[in-house]
Structure 1
Amino acid sequence: MTKTIELFTIGFTKKTAQDFFENLTQSKVKCVIYTRVNNVSQLAGFAKKKDLEYFLKVICNIGYIHILDLAPTKELLDDYKKKRITWDDYEQKFNNLITEREIEKKVSPELLDGSCLLCSEAKPHYCHRRLVAEYLNQQWGNIKVCHL
C-alpha cells in the first residue's frame, strides 16, 4: 500500500504575518516550497526570499526551498494578469508546461510529504499551486491536498 502524501498549499496575500506563520505551524508543515517565478516581490514584506527563509526557520523551524519548475513562465502569467487569455486558457497552458517539464521527476514524494506549496494568491481556486497539486496527484495518485 502506497503511503498517502499530505501536501498543503497557501497564499501569502490578505494574511498577516501572524496568521501566515501560525497557520503553517499549527498544520505542522515541515518545508515551504516557493512556487513563484519571482521570490523577491514586494507583495508581502514577510514573504520575500531572504526574509521568508529566515522567518520560517526562526519562528517555525520550517525549511524553505524555491522550485522554479513549479512556477509559470513570466510570459504566461503576464498573459493571464493582463487578460490576454482566460483562466481556462491559462490552466491548459500551465498544465501543458508542467507536463513538458515532467515536474513529477523533479520533486520527490518524500520532499512533498508535509510540505506546503506557496504562492501569492489568497485562495487556490485561480492559482497555479492548486494545479501543481492536482497534477502531481494525477501522476502519483496518493496525495491528500489541504489548502490553508
Structure 2
Amino acid sequence: MKIDVATIGFTRTSAEGFFGRISQAGVRTVVDVRLHNTSQLAGFAKADDLAYFLKAICGVSYVHEPLLAPTEDILKGFRKDKGDWAVYRDRFLALMAERRIEDRLKPDTLDGACLLCSEATPHHCHRRLACEYLDARWGLGGKGGALRVRHL
C-alpha cells in the first residue's frame, strides 16, 4: 500500500496560492521540516501563525519535525557559503542515516501529510531528499515504492 505524501515550499507564492494548494491536495497534516520555523521570508509562515492559518483556512493540523531538518552547519555551508548542491545532498543524506529517521518515524504518520520548507521548488530542497530517503528505506526490500509523492 502506498503512503500519500506531498511537499510544498512557501517562498515565491502568495498566501492565497499556498493555502489553496494545501486545501485542494487534501492534506491532513503539514509537517514543517525547517530547522528554524520562525522564518520572516513570508509573513504567514511563522510557526504559530502558520498553525493557526492552516487550521482556520484548511482544517489542517501542523507539526514541527526538526528530525527531518538539516543541521545549522549543513545549512550554513550551502546557503551562506554558496556551497555545492551535491555536497549538501550527501551531507543531509548521511545525517538522515545517522539519525535513523526511517526507524524513528512511522510510515502512517506521513500518510496524508505535506512536508513544508521554504524552497519554492523541490529540485534543490531537503524535503524532496527526505521523501526519497524514506521511500527507499520503507519500500519493498529497499527498492523504494512506499511513498506516492506530489510536489505542490
> TM-score category by the smaller chain?
over 0.9
* 1:88-103 alignment runs, 5 A limit: 88-103=86-101
Q: TM-score, normalised by structure 2?
A: 0.94
- After superposing on structure 2, the runs of 4+ consecutive aligned residues of structure 1 that deviate more than 4 Å are none
- Which whole-Å deviations, capped at 9, do the CAs of 1:35-69 have from their partners, x for residues lacking one? 01100110111010000000001111101100111
Matched, 1:145 2:145: no
Counterparts of 1:35 and 1:42 in 2: how far apart (Å)? Answer: 16
Aligned to 2:8: 10
SS at match of 2:57: helix
Aligned to 1:59: 57
Per-residue deviation at 1:84? 5.3
* 1:99-110 alignment runs, 5 A limit: 99-110=97-108
- Which whole-Å deviations, capped at 9, do the CAs of 1:121-143 have from their partners, x for residues lacking one? 00000000000000000001210
Per-residue deviation at 1:107? 1.8
Counterparts of 1:84 and 1:42 in 2: how far apart (Å)? Answer: 21
Greater alpha carbon shift after TM alignment, 110-119 vs 100-109: 100-109
* 1:43-58 alignment runs, 5 A limit: 43-58=41-56
Per-residue deviation at 1:14? 0.5
Counterparts of 1:85 and 1:17 in 2: how far apart (Å)? Answer: 30
SS at match of 1:93: helix
Aligned to 1:31: 29
Aligned to 1:22: 20
Residue type at the aligned position of 1:143 = L
Q: Which residues of structure 1 form unaligned runs of 5+?
A: none
Q: TM-score, normalised by structure 1?
A: 0.96
Q: What RMSD over aligned residues (CA atoms) do the two structures have, in Å?
A: 0.9
Q: Which residues of structure 2 form unaligned runs of 5+?
A: 140-145
- Identity over aligned residues, as a percent? 49
